[in-house]
Amino acid sequence: MVIKKGQNKFQRLQGCPMNNGLLMVAFGNKFDKMTAYSIIHSRKYTDLPITVLTNIKNRCGLWKKIKNVNHVFINDATVNNRKYKTSMIDYSPYDKTIYIDADSVIQRKGIEKAFDKLNDNDIMLNVYGRWLLRIPLSYYRVAMGILNVKPPVYIYYGAFIGFSKTDNARLFFKNWKENWRKTGIRREMPALASTVKKMHGKIKLIKTNNTDNIFSWKINPRAIIQHEYGAAYWKRFFGKNRDILCR
């Protein structure tokens, strides 16, 4: 891995007292544009600093309209984006970080509630569900078989992750990345669930769910952070602009 332009800027940020911030990963032109649109909308509801990990040098022109965003350039192929998602703690300049996927937006005020929920915990994750007796999805079965993880097991969304800069959190990300590699460097969510299970009692984990109205996978007007839910979702926020090539 080689970090070029973003490295010195990131190192300067590390030396600054920065408490709370948002982190996103935008590898490839499609996600560069998508992230720009997402942040433009999110800026209506928060002025928190945002760090974007990207491998795009010639970024979408929309970024010129967005304030308080720091890009960390990573010289690597787009297909390797999960390598940096599973080690994002190494790139965040914040004491407490909320990571959201590029296809998520902040759609109402109150993102501070997420940091309040994180509090003094190491990791914060949103629960998808709990599998008690069997693992219904084949790619989870394969991954968890490799990692020797058996039900019962909680499953978590990978689109929303909160973390503090603690030694336990660093160990969590180290193990998550290692488990992701062991399971074939494909989907990272099976390795995420497996890592949480294997580290039970070793990290301070706080769980959120849809009733918290902090993050939602399905359309939920009450949720602060809304994850993408099909083309109709994007059209709701951006109209025809979602189909315009960024220049």
Q: What are the angstrom distances between the C-alpha of 224 and each of 49, 96, 107, 161?
A: 17, 18, 6, 14
pLDDT at 164: 98
**Residue 25 structure tokens:** 């990963």
Q: Flag whether the pTM goes above 0.85.
A: yes
- The answer on pLDDT for 143 being more than 50 is yes
Distance CA 107, CA 77 (A): 31
Round to whole Å and give the CA distance between 151 and 217. 23
Q: How far is CA 176 from the centre of its chain?
A: 14
User: How open is the CA angle 99-29-232, to the nearest 5 degrees?
Assistant: 70
**Is residue 93 over pLDDT 60?**
yes
Task: Answer whether residue 244 shows pLDDT above 90.
Answer: no
pLDDT (tens digit per residue) in 147-178:
999 999 999 999 999 999 999 999 999 999 99
- How does pLDDT run across 186-239, given as a tens digit for each residue? 999 999 999 999 999 999 999 999 889 999 988 899 999 999 755 566 666 555
Tell me the average pLDDT across 18-39.
94
Residue 11 CB partners (closer than 8 Å, separation 6+): none
Amino acid at 128: Y
pLDDT at 219: 86
Distance CA 228, CA 156 (A): 16
Q: Is 242's pLDDT higher than 80?
A: no
Q: Provide φ and ψ at 159, rounded to 5°.
A: -85, -5
Q: What is the mean pLDDT of the chain?
A: 89
Q: Over 50: is that where the pLDDT of 91 sits?
A: yes
pLDDT of residue 205: 97
Taken in order of first residue, the domains within the chain and their CATH numbers are 5-242 (3.90.550.10)
* pLDDT confidence of residue 211: 87
With tokens 């336990």, the residue in question is: 168
**Which one, of 222, 227, 53, 97, lies nearest residue 157 by Cα?**
227
pLDDT at 101 over 70: yes
Residue 71 burial by CB count (10 A; 0-12/13-18/19+): exposed, middle or buried?
Answer: buried
Bridge partners (DSSP) listed for residue 208: 126
- Would you state the structure tokens that stand for residue 51, as one six-digit string? 């760090």
- Show the tokens assigned to 234: 């994007």
Query: Looking at residues 45-66, what average pLDDT do you find?
Result: 96
Placement of tokens 């990692």 in the chain: 147
What is the average pLDDT across 96-112?
95
Per-residue pLDDT, 239: 58
